[in-house]
């Protein structure tokens, strides 16, 4: 089932293929250069796309949504520094983002100081405060990993979340703390009045933070975090203190969580108890795991998908949390590598040049499966409507079709589509598996 090796962050079979591309006849420098170019390419493309997106989607709500996505991306990446790279499961990570954000709000409200700095550097202060808190908590929580770390993070998270309604002076009680970002020193004449200005600010910070976090994972400490995650004893034998490696990862993660809190403060101009509570900590765990903890870009996918589900799907159906929960559970059960793992499973086939073999079997299996699943969703929605809609309100609209939910026909149609769709998917699954094996076997192309 699991097609990637959790110990190496690599899909199984990917390694040997990489060696094939190494051509010993070429000078090693050129190889290096090519590798660097290859590594830079996704970053450059990502930056360009981020800069060009607002030209495509001009309405404010999409920009607000993209802002939210980018804030979640930074936060999820920071969280994955712990979970994916360091193997530390935290149940209270929202407090570092939250405290960073609250600190930024307070800076925003100290008018003298705030009017003397440009808004763009504000997230840096959020990062510092997040880092400061992480240093205090990390000093005792990183002594061991595993359950002890997880439970301390839960306890500390609950404590700080609980004090947010008690310590009104800093957390502002239930109403939270709000401010006005436009009071800052204009940045090249820009006062960040409009969402689009804020978009670019957040985009730049997202790219910088993501790049820094990626570079961190390539430093000796970042590499050692992986080693400590997999086998702390052997890491100790190499002369690294497992505890300090964990501590550094934790502090760095706290910094970037704080940055995301600062970005939140700029975008929404308000922070509340919601930014600290355990529900937010749980959400970021879901986001990261959904995207895939084994890959650097996993949390990015998770953040994008989850924000869409939470904001856009919830406009369409009241049952969005039900679907989100099901999606999440299915991911954990069938694709423990997350969505990123799912994508990276296909790398070997690409490298072998056999990915074309998969297209037809995929179409044969996944299209009926998707239709079947949508039909099941339709049945769920109809049940919900049948039970909870107003009396006499028999009409409902699903997938651009309006019908009467109290008659038998729609139920039969939906059930039939579900049965047929899933049935076809089931019947064609073995041939997909065959094609999959074929595509991942070297030699003898069809």
Partner 1 sequence: MKNITKLGAVSALSLIIGAGSAFADTIKIGFIDPLSGPFASTGTNGLHQFEFAADYMVNDKGGVLDGDTFEIVSFDNKTSPKESLIQLQVAIDQGIRYIVQGNGSAVALALTEAVDKHNRRNPDSRVLFLNYAAVDPALTNEQCNFWHFRFDANADMKMDAMSDVIAKDESIKKVYVIGQDYSFGKAVADAAVSMLGEKRPDIEIVGNELHPIGKVKDFTPYSRKIVASGADAVITGNWGADMLGLGKSIIENGFTGPIYTYYGAGSGMTGAFGETGKGAIRLVSEGIVNPPPTEEASAYYQAFQAKYPDGNIDQTRISNTVGMLAEAIKAAGTADDVVAVATALKGMEYQTIWGSKVMMRAEDHQAIQNINILNHTDEGVTFPFDGSTFGVVSEQTVEMASADAPTTCEMQRP
Partner 2 sequence: MDLILVNLIDGLVTGLLLFMLSAGLTLIFSMMGVLNFAHASFYMLGAYFAYSISLALGFWMGLLVAPLIVGLAGAAVERYGLRRVHQYGHVPELIFTFGLALLIEELVQFVWGKNQMAYSVPDVLNFTAFAISGNSIPAYKIFMIFISVGIFIGLLYVLTKTRVGMIIQAALSYPRTVEALGHNVPLIFMGVFGVGTALAGVAGVIAGPVLGTFPGMAFVLGSIVFVTIVIGGLGSLWGALFASLLIGWMTTFAKAYNIEMSNILNGLGIATPENLDESLFRDFWSLTSPQIADILPYILMVLILIFRPAGLFGKRSS
Task: Give the C-alpha separation, 345 to 25, whole Å.
Answer: 30
Shortest separation between residue 334's beta carbon and partner 2, angstroms: 8
- CA distances 390 to 6, 178, 379, 382, 396, Å, are 51, 39, 18, 13, 11
Nearer to partner 1, 267 or 428 (CB): 267
Please tell me the count of residues contacting partner 1 according to CB under 8 A. Answer: 57
303 binds partner 2 (CB under 8 A): no
Shortest separation between residue 93's beta carbon and partner 2, angstroms: 14
Tokens linked to 334: 């069938």
Task: Give the C-alpha separation, 13 to 370, whole Å.
Answer: 29
Rule CB under 8 A: choose which of 46, 135, 422, 424 binds partner 1. 46
Question: Pick from partner 1, partner 2, none: which does 269 bind, CB < 5 to 8 A by kind?
Answer: partner 1
Rule CB under 8 A: choose which of 45, 168, 370, 419 binds partner 2. 168
Task: Give the C-alpha separation, 330 to 323, whole Å.
Answer: 10
Nearer to partner 2, 153 or 206 (CB): 153
Question: Pick from partner 2, partner 1, none: which does 393 bind, CB < 5 to 8 A by kind?
Answer: partner 1
75 binds partner 1 (CB under 8 A): no
Q: Is the dihedral of CA 351, 356, 361, 364 positive or negative?
A: positive
Task: Give the C-alpha separation, 431 to 427, whole Å.
Answer: 8
Rounded to 5°, angle at Cα 420 from 417 and 422 = 100
Rule CB under 8 A: choose which of 113, 244, 322, 399 binds partner 2. 322
9 binds partner 1 (CB under 8 A): no
Task: Give the C-alpha separation, 330 to 371, whole Å.
Answer: 17
Quick one: which of 260, 244, 232 has its CA closest to 99? Answer: 260
Task: Give the C-alpha separation, 76 to 299, whole Å.
Answer: 5
Question: Pick from partner 1, partner 2, none: which does 155 bind, CB < 5 to 8 A by kind?
Answer: partner 2
Rule CB under 8 A: choose which of 275, 405, 428, 440 binds partner 1. 275
Quick one: which of 80, 75, 128, 97 has its CA closest to 261? Answer: 97
Shortest separation between residue 50's beta carbon and partner 1, angstroms: 9
Shortest separation between residue 204's beta carbon and partner 2, angstroms: 33
Q: Which of residues 286-325 bind partner 1 (CB under 8 A)?
A: 297, 300-301, 304-305, 308, 310-312, 314-316, 318-321
409 binds partner 2 (CB under 8 A): no
DSSP assignment string, 395-440: EEEETTEEEETTSHHHHHHHHHHHHHHHHHHHHHHHHHHHHHHHHT
Is 184:117 a contact under the CB 8 Å cutoff?
yes
Rule CB under 8 A: choose which of 26, 40, 60, 155 binds partner 2. 155
Tokens linked to 30: 């050129």
Question: Which residues contact partner 1 (rule: CB under 8 A)?
Answer: 42, 45-46, 49, 53, 56-57, 59-62, 64-66, 68-69, 162, 165-166, 173-176, 178, 180, 193-195, 264, 268-270, 272-275, 297, 300-301, 304-305, 308, 310-312, 314-316, 318-321, 343, 390-393
The residue ranges that bind partner 2 (CB under 8 A) are 1-2, 6, 83, 87, 89, 140, 144, 146-148, 150-152, 154-156, 158-159, 162, 166-169, 278, 282, 285-286, 289, 319, 321-322, 324-326, 328-329, 332-333, 336, 384, 388
């Amino acid at each position: 089932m699991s097609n990637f090796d959790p110990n190496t962050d690599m899909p199984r079979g990917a390694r040997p293929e990489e060696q094939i591309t190494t051509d010993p006849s070429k000078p090693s420098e050129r190889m290096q250069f090519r590798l660097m170019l290859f590594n830079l390419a996704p970053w450059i493309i990502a930056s360009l796309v981020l800069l060009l997106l607002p030209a495509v989607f001009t309405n404010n709500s999409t920009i607000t949504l993209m802002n939210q996505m980018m804030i979640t991306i930074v936060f999820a990446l920071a969280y994955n520094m712990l979970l994916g790279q360091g193997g530390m499961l935290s149940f209270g990570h929202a407090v570092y983002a939250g405290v960073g954000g609250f600190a930024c709000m307070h800076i925003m409200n100290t008018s003298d100081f705030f009017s003397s700095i440009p808004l763009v550097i504000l997230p840096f202060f959020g990062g510092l405060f997040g880092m400061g808190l992480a240093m205090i908590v990390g000093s005792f929580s990183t002594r061991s990993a595993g359950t002890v770390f997880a439970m301390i993070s839960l306890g500390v998270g609950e404590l700080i979340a609980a004090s947010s309604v008690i310590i009104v002076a800093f957390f502002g009680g239930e109403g939270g703390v709000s401010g006005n970002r436009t009071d800052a020193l204009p940045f090249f004449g820009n006062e960040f009045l409009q969402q689009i200005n804020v978009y670019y600010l957040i985009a730049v910070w997202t790219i910088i933070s993501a790049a820094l976090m990626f570079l961190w994972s390539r430093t000796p400490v970042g590499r050692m975090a992986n080693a400590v995650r997999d086998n702390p004893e052997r890491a100790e034998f190499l002369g690294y203190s497992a505890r300090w490696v964990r501590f550094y990862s934790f502090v760095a993660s706290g910094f970037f969580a704080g940055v995301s809190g600062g970005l939140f403060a700029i975008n929404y101009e308000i922070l509340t108890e919601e930014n600290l509570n355990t529900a937010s900590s749980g959400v970021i765990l879901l986001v990261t795991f959904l995207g895939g903890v084994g890959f650097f870009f996993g949390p990015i996918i998770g953040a994008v998908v989850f924000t869409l589900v939470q904001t856009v799907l919830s406009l369409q159906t009241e049952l969005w949390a039900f679907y989100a929960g099901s999606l999440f559970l299915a991911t954990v059960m069938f694709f423990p590598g997350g969505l990123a793992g799912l994508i990276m499973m296909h790398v070997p086939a690409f490298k072998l040049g056999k990915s074309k073999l998969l297209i037809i079997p995929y179409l044969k299996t996944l299209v009926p499966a998707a239709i079947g699943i949508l039909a099941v969703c339709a049945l769920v929605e109809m049940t919900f409507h049948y039970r909870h809609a107003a009396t006499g309100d028999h009409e409902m609209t699903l997938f651009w079709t309006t019908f009467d939910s109290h008659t038998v026909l729609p139920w039969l149609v939906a059930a039939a589509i579900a049965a047929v769709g899933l049935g076809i998917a089931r019947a064609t699954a073995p041939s997909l598996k065959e094609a999959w094996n074929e595509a991942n076997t070297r030699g003898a192309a069809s």
